[in-house]
Structure 1
Amino acid sequence: MRVDPDADVEPALEAFRSGGPICVHDFADREGETDMIYPATAVTPAAVSRMRNDAGGLVCVAVGHRVAEAFELPFLADALDHPAIDDDPAYDDRSSFSLPVNHHETFTGITDVDRARTITELGNAAAAVDRDPDAYTAEDFAAEFHTPGHVHLLRGAAEGLRERTGHTEFGLALAEATDMPPAAVVCEMLDDESGAALSPADARAYAERQGIPYVEGETLVDALA
């Protein structure tokens, strides 16, 4: 894996390798959003609380294409039959959303403790597929997780950042570059005052205050694609 020596990339890789988080802004002409990103296997209830309180967006788990295939995860728009289905977002060709799930050993699924359990177990399941694609099947997935739930799964593009430059793929590229399991948590950062996406300047300022690496998507594409 080619890694750019850019000063923003190496701290981000080291932070992710150590359990995150990092902040990644995609592109002004795409979503124009900054996401807080963690490796799934490192997420704790405190990390879920941080995403909920400091980021404020939807807490999702991105899994790699091979993992999604092993789990037999559909794209959500393909799994539903309803007149409201319209999978043509303004920012991309299609949404990467798949099933929303809870781990079977959670209660309501929405608490920080429950979501952290679901997220880390998704990371562990992704790690099992990464070790042996034939060792974990859709039946194994159904034995551990159920839908509907409170953690939204995202399907990573088959060619990663070479095919799609969304936060789903940024998280998975970071996982690959740091030899972590192919599962990453992404959560959009929102502005409490305006109700819009947090501006890149404000997201960078937050990251600096918190000692969290901040990286522009273009930098990650140059380094990891």
Structure 2
Amino acid sequence: MRINADFTKRVAVHFDETEWVQSPAAGVERKMLDRIGEEVARATTIVRFAPGSAFAAHTHDGGEEYLVLDGVFQDELGDFPTGMYVRNPPTSSHTPATEPGATILVKLHQFDSDDRTEVRQPIAGEGRVDLHRDAVEDVRVERWAAGEAVQVDADGGLEVFVLSGSYAEGGETFGKWDWLRVPPNGSFQAVAGPDGAEVWVKSGHLSQMI
């Protein structure tokens, strides 16, 4: 399976314009943003867990990072409520589940095989909140004021996911849970909407895909 697999191109996915797709697990649905592979894949996905649903225990050979968008996501390590960012490195394993239901943004099989960095951090705060940074990538949450003009370095590629508010970029308006991927050596110049914007940003990591 290949979805938005050409990393030389700008890609935008608007949440309200895409359908949920049933996963192999009962009560778990997905909106696939990009994907290379079948059930085990390099993937960026919005996943919705119905109350009481779960996935079977599994190991993330290529690592996983996720941001809880709604509800409470759970595994053996604890409960992760809305606004929690989690990074599980390669060789980590868990049994994901949720009693109350949850929606997450998750990226799979995108870590260096030697990476062993774990992160469990809430995104709450004022302005920019740094979540993870290394020689390859920079992951953070940024908050832009209403009408603010924003320019972000996209030399190594860029992903922007809207948590709340909106912004305009490249002739498009991006609202809640919309996703934009800018290729390496691209550009990102945006203007925040009338209510400002809170966005999850990941940059510098896409050069390896070209």
Q: Normalising by structure 1, what TM-score?
A: 0.26
Higher RCO, 1 vs 2 (CA within 8 Å, ≥6 residues apart): 1
Q: Normalising by structure 2, what TM-score?
A: 0.27
